[in-house]
Each structure stands twice: as structure tokens, then as C-alpha cells.
């Protein structure tokens, strides 16, 4: 039996980027752990930092973590996030869950792509309008 991948948060200060990779199942405890890591990471990034969230391994997010997920999105807005790119691959259930949550958030407009390569291309594209709009 294959071991379930754990979620992780990686900061790249040189590229001013935060990368979040979600494991197969996101419980309330898992999203709270991720949130705590992100709080520390964003303090080291400059305003306009980009975020890549890899959802390709994620199968389900528990509704009990919804409040923390919203708190996370608000934190990113408060810290003046630039582009938010979500790599969804074939993660249909999680994609539907997350897109329903974010569609109602003022000023938060992620870009959805299929692969990490697509995310890199999106972030390296020059002259594109930022996905996070002014508050």
C-alpha cells in the first residue's frame, strides 16, 4: 500500500514565491498546520509574492477546515499576494470544493491550470493582469 503524501509548504525568497502542495486528504488539523507554516513564510516574502498551490494529489478537503481555509485566503490578501495559481490536474472534487469557496471572496481570483509546468508558464508570462485585484 502506498503511503499518503503529507502536505508541505515551501518558500522561495529569490523568486518571491510560496508553493503549497496538498496531500491526499486535508483535515481540519492539516489545514491548521499548513496555515501556521504559511504565516511564518509570508512574513519573509515581499508584497506581490506569487502562490502556487498543487492540488494534484489531493482527493478531499474536510468541511471542518473551511474556516481556516478562508482565514488563509484573507491572510494572503492582507499580505498583498500577487498571482495565485492552482494546479488541479484531475482533482475534480477538491477543485469543485475550493472553487466554490473562493468564488465568493472579494478580490481573490486564482488561476487554474492542469500542470506545474503550466503554473510556471503562467507566472513567467509578462504583462498579464494580476489575478488579485485591489481591495
Residue closest to 10 by CA, chosen among 66, 46, 53: 53
**Phi, psi at residue 87, to the nearest 5°?**
-95, 110
Q: How far apart are CA 25 and CA 124, in angstroms?
A: 30
The reported pLDDT for the residue numbered 38 is: 97
Q: How far apart are CA 123 and CA 118, in angstroms?
A: 9
pTM of the model: 0.79
Q: Where are the domains of the chain?
A: 8-124
Q: How far apart are CA 32 and CA 22, in angstroms?
A: 12
What does 64-121 look like in DSSP terms, one character per residue? GGHHHHHHHHHHHHHTT---EEEE-TT-HHHHHHHHHHHTTSTT---EEESSHHHHHH
CA distances from 93 to 24, 47, 97, 99, 110 (A): 12, 31, 6, 10, 17
Residue closest to 87 by CA, chosen among 16, 6, 22, 32: 22
Tell me which of 3.30.750.24, 3.40.50.850, 1.20.1630.10, 3.60.15.10 is the CATH number of domain 8-124: 3.30.750.24
Tens place of pLDDT per residue across the chain (135 aa): 445 678 999 999 999 999 999 988 888 999 999 999 999 999 999 999 999 999 888 877 777 878 898 899 899 999 999 999 989 887 565 556 666 666 656 676 888 888 999 999 999 875 344 443 333
Amino acid at each position: 500500500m502506498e503511503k499518503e503524501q503529507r502536505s508541505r509548504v515551501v518558500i522561495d525568497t529569490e523568486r518571491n514565491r510560496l508553493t503549497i502542495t496538498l496531500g491526499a486528504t486535508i483535515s481540519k488539523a492539516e489545514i491548521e498546520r499548513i496555515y501556521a507554516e504559511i504565516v511564518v513564510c509570508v512574513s519573509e516574502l515581499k508584497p506581490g509574492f506569487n502562490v502556487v498551490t498543487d492540488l494534484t494529489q489531493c482527493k478531499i478537503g474536510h468541511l471542518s477546515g473551511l474556516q481556516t481555509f478562508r482565514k488563509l485566503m484573507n491572510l494572503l490578501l492582507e499580505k498583498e499576494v500577487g498571482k495565485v495559481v492552482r494546479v488541479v490536474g484531475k482533482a475534480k472534487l477538491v477543485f469543485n470544493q475550493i472553487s466554490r469557496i473562493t468564488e465568493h471572496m472579494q478580490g481573490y481570483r486564482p488561476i487554474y491550470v492542469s500542470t506545474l509546468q503550466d503554473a510556471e508558464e503562467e507566472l513567467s508570462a509578462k504583462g498579464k493582469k494580476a489575478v488579485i485585484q485591489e481591495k
